[in-house]
Amino acid sequence: MDRKSIIPAFVLASIVLFVFFRLQNYGPQSAVRRFHQAIEARDSRELQEVVDEPVESASVRTLLATVTVLLRNGPPGLLGARGSSTEERLLITYRDEIGNPFPIVFIVTKNPTDRNWKINASKTTNALKDYLNAVYGGR
């Protein structure tokens, strides 16, 4: 390999690495992945980075408690995603204590000012409550 081809190859590799590093924690799926990692690491600072409300809010506490219990039964899986350029719904499935699938729809929104994706805790918690009411009929 001659010197003339090494420099462009190095520049291209540098650009690819920069873009990959810059985008590794970007996007709605990344926000949900980081949420799970923050729970497992018990990192409230990282948790605050990926939710749109204070960690102490009722919606975040409800979501955190629910997912913490479900994570004990195994890793979550992404079943599907649908949305727009500013809001995405991610269907994440867990297992309940007896092994049945337990889905949660995470509603993730892009902040218009800093363009970061964050879990909308209130909408996600409301979707979870709607699901539980539909399945269990308010029992």
| Residue 56 to residues 3, 74, 90, 93, 111, Cα–Cα distance (Å) | 57, 26, 23, 25, 20
Stretch 74-83: mean pLDDT: 91
User: Which pLDDT does position 22 carry in this prediction?
Assistant: 46
Stretch 76-94: mean pLDDT: 92
pLDDT tens, position by position, 16-45: 444 444 444 569 999 999 999 999 999 999
More confident residue, 138 or 88: 88
User: Which pLDDT does position 9 carry in this prediction?
Assistant: 53
**Amino acid at site 31:** A
User: Which pLDDT does position 18 carry in this prediction?
Assistant: 44
Go through the domains of the chain in sequence order and give each one's CATH number. 26-136 (3.10.450)
